[in-house]
């Protein structure tokens, strides 16, 4: 036994070195593949046509035709989608966890469908099936985005709910005299904050970058505008694209770190008490 372990302990020394070299190589190639395009996109957006460094693309953005409209349309769609998806999914997921555990499997299956069904085929059917008054409104996109975000939103909420003892919380709240809405608002939702937050971040990121449905429904959202504008000025289009990317990442980081500091503060408060 002792001999075996010591033999095993001696043998891996050269192997460990080889593994480290091999791992460094893999990570290095991956880093190059993922970082060079990012760097290239940023560099291109900070150059002018002659290839000199310039901030002209950044300064010129607000005055470009159609930019403001596309920007606000995307923001409006993002927030209506967010409200819609939370109002639909949060009560449903909580209720199913509390009272209909057998329906969970069905819910899981249904919410995975939007991943399986290509958005391009879905919008094809929607454009035929939707009533005309709805097709005339950009908010048809919001309604469809609620469907598209369902897989991510459901999974975030489901993970959040599974992490807390929902049943005990609800029973405790009831026995202290709270009614249904009070329990939802003051007990369940604060405890689900992390799950709701990650669901919201995923929703915003998806809607702000969605191209397929918006372009085929003929609404000029930000990604569609960027695509059309590249023929006018590639540097400005790339700059807007990189900014929307950075904006989304900043949004994600801020929301996640806000949540982390908030939970740390409440934990400290609990410790002091």
Of 23 and 186, nearer to another protein (C-beta) is 23
Q: Which region, judged by CB under 8 A, interacts with another protein, from 24-32, 53-61, 75-83, 260-268?
A: 24-32
Provide the minimum distance between the beta carbon of 176 and another protein in the complex, in angstroms, as a whole number. 23
What is the Cα–Cα distance from 136 to 133, expressed in whole angstroms? Answer: 5
What is the Cα–Cα distance from 10 to 2, expressed in whole angstroms? Answer: 12
Dig out the tokens for 273 from the structure: 């008490």
Of 11 and 176, nearer to another protein (C-beta) is 11
What is the Cα–Cα distance from 246 to 71, expressed in whole angstroms? Answer: 15
With CB under 8 A as the contact rule, the residue among 184, 196, 226, 236 that binds another protein is 226
With CB under 8 A as the contact rule, the residue among 138, 193, 230, 251 that binds another protein is 230
CA distances from 168 to 101, 125, 184, 199 (A): 15, 44, 13, 24
With CB under 8 A as the contact rule, the residue among 13, 33, 52, 65 that binds another protein is 33
What is the Cα–Cα distance from 164 to 11, expressed in whole angstroms? Answer: 46
Provide the minimum distance between the beta carbon of 257 and another protein in the complex, in angstroms, as a whole number. 12
129 binds another protein (CB under 8 A): yes
104 binds another protein (CB under 8 A): no
Residues 161-220 that bind another protein (CB under 8 A): 202, 205-206, 209-212, 215-216
Provide the minimum distance between the beta carbon of 208 and another protein in the complex, in angstroms, as a whole number. 10
Residues 242-261 that bind another protein (CB under 8 A): 242, 244-245, 249, 252
Provide the minimum distance between the beta carbon of 63 and another protein in the complex, in angstroms, as a whole number. 21
What is the Cα–Cα distance from 260 to 155, expressed in whole angstroms? Answer: 20
With CB under 8 A as the contact rule, the residue among 59, 95, 189, 232 that binds another protein is 95
Alpha helices in the chain (DSSP H): 2-10, 12-45, 56-60, 67-99, 104-116, 119-129, 132-135, 139-163, 166-175, 180-183, 189-191, 193-209, 212-216, 222-229, 234-272
Of 148 and 187, nearer to another protein (C-beta) is 148
227 binds another protein (CB under 8 A): yes
Residue 269 CB burial class (10 angstroms; 0-12, 13-18, ≥19):
exposed
Of 37 and 66, nearer to another protein (C-beta) is 37
What is the Cα–Cα distance from 27 to 101, expressed in whole angstroms? Answer: 43
Provide the minimum distance between the beta carbon of 221 and another protein in the complex, in angstroms, as a whole number. 11
159 binds another protein (CB under 8 A): no
With CB under 8 A as the contact rule, the residue among 2, 14, 15, 269 that binds another protein is 15
What is the Cα–Cα distance from 111 to 1, expressed in whole angstroms? Answer: 53
7 binds another protein (CB under 8 A): yes
Nearest to 188 by CA among 80, 97, 79: 97
């Amino acid at each position: 036994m002792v001999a075996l372990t010591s033999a095993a302990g001696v043998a891996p020394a050269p192997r460990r070195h080889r593994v480290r070299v091999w791992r460094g190589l893999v990570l290095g190639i991956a880093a190059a593949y993922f970082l060079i395009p990012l760097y290239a996109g940023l560099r291109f957006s900070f150059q002018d046509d002659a290839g000199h460094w310039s901030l002209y693309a950044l300064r010129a953005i607000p005055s470009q035709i159609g930019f403001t409209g596309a920007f606000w349309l995307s923001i409006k769609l993002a927030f209506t989608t967010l409200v819609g998806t939370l109002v639909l999914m949060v009560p449903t997921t909580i209720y199913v966890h509390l009272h209909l555990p057998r329906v969970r499997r069905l819910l899981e299956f249904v919410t995975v469908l939007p991943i399986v069904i290509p958005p391009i085929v879905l919008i094809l059917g929607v454009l035929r099936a939707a009533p005309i008054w709805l097709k005339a409104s950009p908010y048809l996109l919001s309604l469809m985005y609620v469907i598209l975000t369902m897989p991510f939103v459901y999974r975030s909420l489901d993970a959040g709910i599974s992490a807390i003892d929902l049943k005990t919380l609800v029973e405790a709240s009831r026995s202290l005299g709270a009614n249904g809405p009070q329990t939802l608002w003051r007990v369940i939702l604060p405890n689900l904050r992390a799950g709701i937050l990650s669901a919201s971040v995923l929703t915003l990121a998806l809607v702000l970058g969605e191209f397929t449905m918006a372009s085929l429904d003929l609404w000029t959202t930000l990604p569609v505008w960027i695509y059309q504008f590249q023929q006018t000025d590639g540097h400005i289009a790339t700059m807007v694209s990189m900014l929307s990317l950075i904006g989304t990442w900043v949004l994600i980081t801020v929301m996640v770190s806000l949540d982390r500091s908030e939970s740390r503060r409440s934990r400290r408060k609990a410790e002091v008490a």
